[in-house]
């Protein structure tokens, strides 16, 4: 079993990428769960198809070979995050309908560009469904850099994020710029989603972004502890999921997502038995 990781370079790269992505998933996922913005995160995850489709179309039809679809994913994710944040701050009464509209619009734009793009669209299929076994060195470097940015910003604004998630009114009284901080948080969610897309794909990204954090909430109500547990759980899911997928010949992304869901369901009776947080 151990030889799976020592003899196969593709598995080694996949494992390294999974472990790096676990930091973004655990930390930002905790904010998503505590702030209850999973629906917004889901909308961001699905809207990235528009940016990816546009970049792939430009790459194939306009000769912009340097324009990697992943940059379209970053651009559309951050743009959607900022727009959804603006909607949340200004139009709360219509928020759910508008978020659903953004969700479907992003995917519709992506599908239109895909239909106009000649040739195979394997790159987007890999991002939609996840193909962790094709991780490259540049993807690892990208993960390291973006992990560093995310962790640095969270460390810098941790107390302000804490106030934002649990008591916005108190945060305002303390002089925190809540609106700007909320938009920053959504931007970090957007970056994390693009990071995780390489591991588990756009369609299943919310599983890895929310389920480990949800499981952690069953056993602690402290945000810092929740983050640590979420990171550890994401790493474990990745290791066990990759091993199981290799043995059973299952898709790695779907296996990791399924493992996350099953572990959460199995943990619910344990939480019920032992009661309150320890």
Residues in the chain: 278
Number of C-beta neighbours around residue 2 at 10 A: 7
Q: Which CATH number fits domain 3-273: 3.30.70.1230, 2.40.50.1040, 1.10.3470.10, 1.10.3720.10?
A: 1.10.3470.10
| pLDDT tens series, the chain, 278 aa | 555 556 778 788 888 888 898 999 999 999 999 988 888 888 888 888 888 889 888 988 888 888 888 888 899 999 999 988 888 777 765 667 777 888 888 888 888 888 888 876 666 677 677 777 778 888 889 889 989 999 999 999 998 898 888 877 777 777 778 889 999 999 999 999 988 887 777 777 888 889 999 999 888 889 999 999 999 999 999 889 888 988 888 888 888 889 999 999 888 887 666 555 44
Provide CB contacts within 8 A for 93, sequence distance 6+.
none
pTM: 0.87
169 to 31, 176, 186: CA distances (angstroms): 18, 10, 19
């Amino acid at each position: 079993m151990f030889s799976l990781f020592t003899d196969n370079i593709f598995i080694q790269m996949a494992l390294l990428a999974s472990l790096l992505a676990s930091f973004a998933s655990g930390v930002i996922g905790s904010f998503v769960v505590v702030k209850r913005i999973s629906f917004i995160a889901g909308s961001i995850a699905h809207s990235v198809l528009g940016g990816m489709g546009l970049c792939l179309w430009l790459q194939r039809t306009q000769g912009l070979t340097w324009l990697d679809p992943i940059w379209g994913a970053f651009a559309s994710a951050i743009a959607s995050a900022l727009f959804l944040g603006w909607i949340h701050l200004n139009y709360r009464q219509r928020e759910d309908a508008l978020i659903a509209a953004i969700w479907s619009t992003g995917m519709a734009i992506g599908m239109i560009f895909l239909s106009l793009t000649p040739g195979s669209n394997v790159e987007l299929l890999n991002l939609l469904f996840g193909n962790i076994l094709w991780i490259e060195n540049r993807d690892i470097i990208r993960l390291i850099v973006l992990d560093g940015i995310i962790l640095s910003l969270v460390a810098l604004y941790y107390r302000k994020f804490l106030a934002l998630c649990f008591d916005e009114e108190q945060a305002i009284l303390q002089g925190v710029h809540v609106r700007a901080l909320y938009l920053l948080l959504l931007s970090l969610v957007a970056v994390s989603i693009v990071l995780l897309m390489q591991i588990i794909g756009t369609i299943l990204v919310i599983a890895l972004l929310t389920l480990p954090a949800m499981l952690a909430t069953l056993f602690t109500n402290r945000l810092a502890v929740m983050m640590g547990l979420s990171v550890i759980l994401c790493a474990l899911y990745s290791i066990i999921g990759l091993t199981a997928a290799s043995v059973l010949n299952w898709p790695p992304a779907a296996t990791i997502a399924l493992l996350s869901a099953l572990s959460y369901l199995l943990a619910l009776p344990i939480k019920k038995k032992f009661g309150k947080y320890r």
